[in-house]
Amino acid sequence: MTAAARIQPLRARRSGPLVGRVTAPGDKSISHRSLILGLLAVGETRVRGLLMAEDVLNTAAACRALGAAVEISAAGEARVQGRGIGGLVEPEDVLDFGNSGTGARLMMGVLASHPLLAVATGDASLRRRPMGRVARPLESMGAELRLRAGDRLPGAIRGTGEALPIRYRLPVPSAQVKSAILLAGLNARGETTVIEPEPTRDHSERMLRHFGATVRVEDTAEGRVVTLVGQPELEGRSIDVPADPSSAAFALVAAAIVPGSRVTVAGVGLNPLRTGLLATLEEMGCDLSYGQRREVGGEPVAELTVRHGRLKGTIVPPERAPSMIDEYPILAVAAACAEGKTEMRGLAELRVKESDRLGAVAQGLAACGVKVEEGKDSLVIHGQGKPPAGGASIAARLDHRIAMSFLVLGLASRDPVAIDDIASIATSFPDFVALMRGLGADLAAP
């Protein structure tokens, strides 16, 4: 098949109201971690609601390559027969993580404290992303890492059987770096500590405890201090994966900006370190309600309903960024339809995601007739209280969130918005187009 034949363009056009009740795919962060901890546990781990997307399936393949038996049904039920901490086998081939920074960085932590050699790579987008922020602390624990120029993948990891526990202060907020260090610390004698100046999502801490590890968390003057006691015996567990709030965000924002809409998304994870977008939408006046609150697999969940209404601009504080870093592209779409100015700051991390998301959002909105001001780590959007003109063709840049966000904008804009290639959506939300069409969205080939 030629490269041109793989390109999948799509156009979004203003439609009638979006109405219905849907379930977003399983949380990607939790899906990755459930497989990785299943690999490191003794016995069987059963996972229900696993995200059936390319990113997670690549992590499953890496677990198999390291010796785990992994079976996954089409319904998203997985069974993992783990190897136990210290029991991994050396992979016979390169570990390919596709588009997933989470899969690559977390598995680098696992590999770092096992005496084996592995080579990690990914697609063109992942090979552009920085890995030095993970490599440096893992090297201080005794691992050897060799990366391409600019600290990029492909990279070779020679792990150590005598990993050293460390005390490490994160230079930038990153749940991936924190998790990589903690996973490496599982096979180190003593206590491994990560200090977070700003709290990031804590799925790893919650799940490590669920599997039997001892993890202490303290809020101190120097930040949030997370300490793991090394060399536990993790035991296989059952995990129910809640719906991903980052994926649910697309249907929720679409309902907020398309007149007459009312959309409910069931079972959405409400981890308090993941709810920044919801808090921001409420500050903008979004008609958002919560129902059926409960706990699933140690994570709070609820049914979320959004009705269309007028949105107003707001100021998003920089300290909120870690709790919504993946949601800024779709928040920018909401801001483009709001009345008044929305200011977002502390966005430097968006520059090193699957694409330069800050630049991609600013350029895409400008092409759709929205006045924007792009800074080094900031974005100011001047909404006019109505959907923008649209009428642009947007380059997805191999970035699933850019593709989905601008398709949502096209459902409300005056003229259609086209995406040059939606193939990247399969990395996190393969049923996105079908789900949105089921709500009434007009999505079709250009």
> Would you please indicate which residues are annotated as catalytic (active-site) residues?
326
The secondary element (H helix, E strand) that includes residue 237 is none
Return d(Cα 308, Cα 253) in angstroms, integer.
Answer: 9
By three-state DSSP, how is residue 303 classified?
Answer: strand
* Amino acid found at 50: L
Q: Are 159 and 143 in contact (CB under 8 A)?
A: yes
What CA–CA distances, in Å, run from 302 to 243, 287, 292, 315? 9, 16, 5, 26
DSSP 372: E
Q: Angle formed by the axes of helices 54-65 and 101-112, to 10°?
A: 20
Concatenate the DSSP letters of all residues of 20-58 into one string: EEEEPPBPHHHHHHHHHHHHHSBSEEEEES---SHHHHH
Q: Are 223 and 198 in contact (CB under 8 A)?
A: yes
Return d(Cα 189, Cα 86) in angstroms, integer.
Answer: 12
* Token pair of 54 as six digits: 């390319």
Q: Which of 32, 395, 368 is nearest to 204 (CA)?
A: 32
Q: Are 115 and 159 in contact (CB under 8 A)?
A: yes
Concatenate the DSSP letters of all residues of 96-124 into one string: E-TT-HHHHHHHHHHHHTSS-EEEEE--T
